Structure 1
Amino acid sequence: MFAWIAGRAGLLIALLLGGVALCLAPVPWLAAHGVSALMLAMLLGMALAGVRRPGWQPGLNLAKGP
């Protein structure tokens, strides 16, 4: 039933990180220091770069674009 998720797990992780970044961006301390959602998403992605799984790669490549 959820076989399509196996190839797109990296895409779901990227979407999750983007959603977390959008939720954290309005935090007053971060907003006062000029930290945007884009910057947060990049920082979260860099923080999790070491825990990538081989099964995530097709979805991450799709999120990365051409």
Structure 2
Amino acid sequence: MECRPDGTAYLVSWSPADGYHFDEDVVRGPGRVVRLEAEPSDDTAADDDLSYAITCDATGPRVRPAPDD
């Protein structure tokens, strides 16, 4: 993850937690907000998707849960 001089964020690389994967639900940037959505690897799992919005401020990256679109 990079916070660029113009205040935009850019995802350089990402890796899901065990039991999750990423597919097309990644907005890499650069942009004011970049997004990741991790989905359970087992399609029958009752686990919810994990969605995050990532921004940059003067102190660095900020990650917050985001609604699943």
**TM-score of the superposed pair, with normalisation by structure 2:** 0.27
Query: Which is bigger in relative contact order (C-alpha 8 A, separation at least 6)?
Result: 1
Greater per-residue helix proportion: 1
Structure with the greater alpha carbon radius of gyration: 1
**TM-score of the superposed pair, with normalisation by structure 1:** 0.28
Greater per-residue strand proportion: 2
